[in-house]
Each structure stands twice: as C-alpha cells, then as structure tokens.
C-alpha cells in the first residue's frame, strides 16, 4: 500500500467537522465513524490480479446519538446513531489525477449543521482542487 497524503487530510477534515457540529449541537453525543476500505481489482479483467488492492475509498461520517421511543412508549427507548454529515472520496494508486477528476461527495442530512459544515467542505474541496458534489437538506419552514 503506497503512502498517501489523503488519510492525513481526511482525518483533519473529520476533526474539523466534528468540532463544528459540536459547537452547533452543544450537549449532543457525537462521534466520527470511519468506513475507509480498500478498492479491489475486478475479477473479470484478465489484465489484473483478482482481488488485488488498487486504491482506497475514503469514507467517514459524523453521527449523532438519538433516542426514539418504540410505539410511542416512554419505557421502550431505542438509541441509535444517526448520520448528520458524510464524506466519500476515491483514490486510485496508479492514476495520479483520479481523485481530482472524480472529486468528493458530501451529504449533509441534518439542516441544523448545514450552515456550519458546508463552508468547511467547500474550503477542503477548493484547497485540494477537487470536484465538489454536495447534497444538503434545506431547513424546513415552521
């Protein structure tokens, strides 16, 4: 596995997003879930070794711990981690411009943190010269 600068940059982005979400949602239980995996070669391609690691899929999400009550009963709490911001990016080890061409995908699924998270994600894409694709949930009218 070749050394890459992307894990350091990705971890810095995750910490910055976590800090921004913590300031917007004080008192909330928040964590970073790292889902980074290796990209494997396709077994149907005769030019590559099957299941050979050819890249990395950088993926993480900022999650908030939420409690819901099953069937509306206070005595039946169900605690789960809800994703509020997620980030996905691919890195091919033999293609120098793969990451810049395919860019990064960002999803902000909680309108409360949208105003804090989107500038951080836009700045990260601009500083690293990445194609920026983002989806954010709009605040709802009361």
Q: What's the rounded Cα separation, in Å, for the pair 38 and 127?
A: 25
Is the residue at 141 inside a domain?
no
Whether residue 139 is predicted with pLDDT greater than 70 in this model: the reply is no
Look up the domain containing 104 and give its range: 6-136
* Predicted local confidence at residue 40, as pLDDT: 80
Is the residue at 1 inside a domain?
no
Nearest to 118 by CA among 25, 12, 28, 13: 13
At residue 14, what are phi and psi to the nearest 5 degrees? -60, -45
* Residue 88 DSSP code: E
At residue 9, what are phi and psi to the nearest 5 degrees? -65, -40
Q: What would the pLDDT profile of 12-30 be if each residue is shown by its tens digit?
A: 999 999 999 999 999 999 9
Q: How many domains does the chain contain in total?
A: 1
Q: What would the pLDDT profile of 92-113 be if each residue is shown by its tens digit?
A: 877 777 888 888 889 999 889 9
Q: What would the pLDDT profile of 42-53 be if each residue is shown by its tens digit?
A: 766 667 676 778
Is the residue at 142 inside a domain?
no
Average pLDDT over residues 73-92: 88
Is the residue at 112 inside a domain?
yes
The mean predicted confidence, pLDDT, of the chain is 84
Is the residue at 87 inside a domain?
yes
Is the residue at 132 inside a domain?
yes
Q: What's the rounded Cα separation, in Å, for the pair 62 and 73?
A: 28
Is the residue at 37 inside a domain?
yes
* Predicted local confidence at residue 137, as pLDDT: 67
């Amino acid at each position: 596995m070749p050394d890459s600068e992307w894990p350091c940059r990705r971890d810095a982005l995750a910490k910055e997003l976590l800090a921004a979400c913590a300031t917007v949602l004080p008192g909330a239980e928040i964590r970073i879930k790292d889902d980074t995996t290796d990209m494997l070669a396709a077994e149907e391609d005769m030019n590559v070794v099957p299941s050979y690691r050819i890249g990395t899929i950088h993926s993480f999400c900022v999650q908030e711990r939420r409690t819901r009550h099953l069937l509306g009963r206070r005595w039946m709490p169900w605690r789960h981690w809800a994703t509020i911001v997620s980030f996905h990016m691919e890195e091919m080890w033999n293609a120098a411009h793969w990451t810049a061409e395919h860019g990064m995908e960002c999803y902000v699924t909680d309108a409360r943190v949208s105003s804090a998270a989107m500038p951080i994600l836009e700045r990260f894409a601009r500083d690293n010269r990445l194609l920026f694709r983002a989806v954010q949930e709009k605040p709802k009218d009361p």
